[in-house]
Every structure is written in C-alpha cells, then in structure tokens.
Structure 1
Amino acid sequence: MNLKTSTTNKWYPVYTSARAEKKAYEALINKGISAYLPLHRQLKQWSDRKKWVEEPFIKSYVFVNIAEHEQADVLMTKGISRFLYFSGKPASMPDRQINELKLLMASSFELEITEEDLQPGEKIIIKAGPLKGMTGEIVSHRSQKQLILRLESIGCSIIVHVAASYIERF
C-alpha cells in the first residue's frame, strides 16, 4: 500500500440524524475535524412573523475532510449516523466538487437542489461571471436553461440558473 495515499485527506459525505446537520457540524469542528456544511438563507414564515434563517442546503449531510484512519472519530460524533458507501468502501468526493459547491454557495445565483435522476445532456462550461470555469450539464427544466452540477456520490444534483450567454459547449 502506498503510504502517501493512506495519509492523504479526502472529502467524505456523512449522513446525519434528522435535522441535526448544524449540531453535528459544530460537534465535528469542536473535535478538530475539518468539516463543511453548505448553508443557504431562506425566508421562513410562521403564523405571527417571517424571518431569514440559515438552512442546510443538502438535507441530512455534512462533508468531512479526513484521513481514512479518522473515520471512527467522525462516527463517534453526536448527530452523525453513518458514512455513505460505494462498492463496499466509504464514498469520497473530489476536492473539485467541494470547491465548486463552496463557490456556488458564495454566489448570488438562485439555487435549487433536486434528487431527481436528471438525464445527461450537453456538457458545458461557464465562460463568464463568478462561476467562470465551472463545468456541468444542460437540461431543460421548467422550460428554462439551467446548469446542473452533479454530486454523484450523494445522489443529488444542484440546479443553477445561468444566462445562456454565459455558457459554451465543449
């Protein structure tokens, strides 16, 4: 086994208990574990008021950047349920996907998450704006052209509304 590979950190999506994403994230950070919880602002309506709140963008998931030997520490964290598995091993995500997700969350684009199994379409690259250089697939959804970024390791896609003039085929 290559020693370098066994000590390299990877991003892993971990499944949390229901509605425990923020508490699980805080517990991971308090343990010194590098973690990422994508949040987005949402206007919530109660019977007596409205309020802007930070909600987890991908329900029931937190992402951890750890070495393989740290998996037990993550599992022993309050609010963490399990790792996602692919072919009998914990599923990991490329750094590029996490960086693109962070870029999307920091952008002013209108975002939507879907668990629909969207069919592959034309591959595109964004050529202008804050998402310049990001790649994805175009689909027709609600009769608008939108960029889809697939997060295959957790089985969901992110829909971003992008002007057609900002994209080009490759």
Structure 2
Amino acid sequence: MTATSGVQLVVEERNATAPAEDRCWYAIQTHSRHEKPVRDRLMAGGIEPFLPLSKQRRQWSDRKVWTTVPLFHGYCFARFSLSDSLVVLKTPGVARIVGVSKPEPIQEEEITALQQVSSANRMMEPCDYLIEGKWVEVVQGPLTGLRGQLIRRTKHHGLVIRASLIQQAALVYIEADEVAPIH
C-alpha cells in the first residue's frame, strides 16, 4: 500500500461519516492567486469545492487573449461539515474560513444561483456590493467625486444628495456602475 492510497482511504472514510445534511457551504479566503490550487487540493482531499470563474479579455504586450480567472479574487467556496474545518484550514493556500467568530455558512440559494449562472456559460464580472442606504461616491461621469446615500426606486438606482442644514434632499438617478461604496 502506497502513501497515496492511504490518504485516499482516509478521504473516503471522512466522506462516509459526514452526512449530506450536516454539510454546508462556506466561503474560504485564500492567499493571493491561490484560488484554483485550493479548489484542486480540496477536491483531492474529498471536500466539495466550487470556484466560479469568469472569462476576461486581457491585453498582453503583443495581443489580446481570453483568460479564465476566479470571479471573486481571493475566495473559493466549499461544502463540508464543521468537523472537517481543520482539514480545510490545513489545506495549503487557505488563509481562513470566512465568519465573524466562527465559520458562517452561506445560504444554499446563493451558491445554487452562482452555479446555475456558471453552468449556463453567461458572461459574469465582479462588481461592488452596493447596499441600499449605504454611502457611495460617484466614480465616473460628470458627477465624479460626488458623495451621497444610495437608494433604489423600481428599476433605477438613485443617489440622495442631502442639505442637512435645511433638512432637504435631492434624488439623482444614476447607473449602478457609476458609483462605488465608500469604505
């Protein structure tokens, strides 16, 4: 028996003892540019990984090429039970399992939606996570540099500009890609 087959035996035993209902999806923060190796190592270790990928056109010095890159830089997803969290944390390239004081599971619907879009081969690109009510800054267009509170009315995004002294406000309609959250 080789060392490799011994590892495989351990992996099979771990999967057999973790019922599907005990396993949840978690976000795993990886070291820089380690998303794909982490995915491969988790899979080899018997953990179910998911890494949403995005095709992007990159300019090289002599030509433009299409490359496949992780949709969320620095993150990979995996489904496992909390009893396997040490195995995940010891995987080379893993920085931590995302959560405040303990690993926080991700809703199944969110992962299913990402998997569905990924399998449909639709174009995806990362964007800022904009939350209604949060303060944003306009990053392009004639209003660049303007800060306000983001709200949403029907299909349009709006930026509320306040004049607090007179307790009045104005709503400016704006495209979501024209603003970025203020950190």
**Matches of 2:95 and 2:128, distance apart in 1:** 20
**Matches of 2:176 and 2:129, distance apart in 1:** 16
What is the deviation of 1:63?
Answer: 0.4
Matched, 1:140 2:157: yes
Alignment equivalent of 2:49, drawn from 18, 31, 35: 35
Distance 1:122 1:104, change over 3 A: farther
Match of 2:93 in 1: 79
Match of 2:115 in 1: 102
Long gaps (5+) in structure 1: 124-137, 147-170
**Matches of 2:120 and 2:81, distance apart in 1:** 29
Distance 1:52 1:90, change over 3 A: same
User: Comparing both structures, which one devotes a greater share of its residues to strand?
Assistant: 1
**Matches of 1:109 and 1:140, distance apart in 2:** 24
User: Comparing both structures, which one devotes a greater share of its residues to helix?
Assistant: 2
How many residue pairs are counted as aligned between the two chains?
A: 128
Letter in 2 for 1:91: E
Structure 2 length-normalised TM:
0.60
Letter in 1 for 2:93: G
Long gaps (5+) in structure 2: 1-17, 133-150, 159-172, 178-183
Match of 1:133 in 2: none
1:2-21 equivalences under 5 Å are 8-21=22-35
Letter in 2 for 1:29: M
Kindly report structure 1 stretches of 4+ aligned residues shifted beyond 6 Å.
none
Point out which structure has higher relative CO (alpha carbons under 8 A, 6+ apart): 1
Quote the sequence identity (%).
Answer: 26
**Matches of 2:44 and 2:61, distance apart in 1:** 35
Match of 2:82 in 1: 68
- Measured on the aligned residues, the alpha-carbon RMSD in Å equals 3.0
Match of 2:12 in 1: none
**Matches of 2:82 and 2:70, distance apart in 1:** 25
Distance 1:67 1:139, change over 3 A: farther
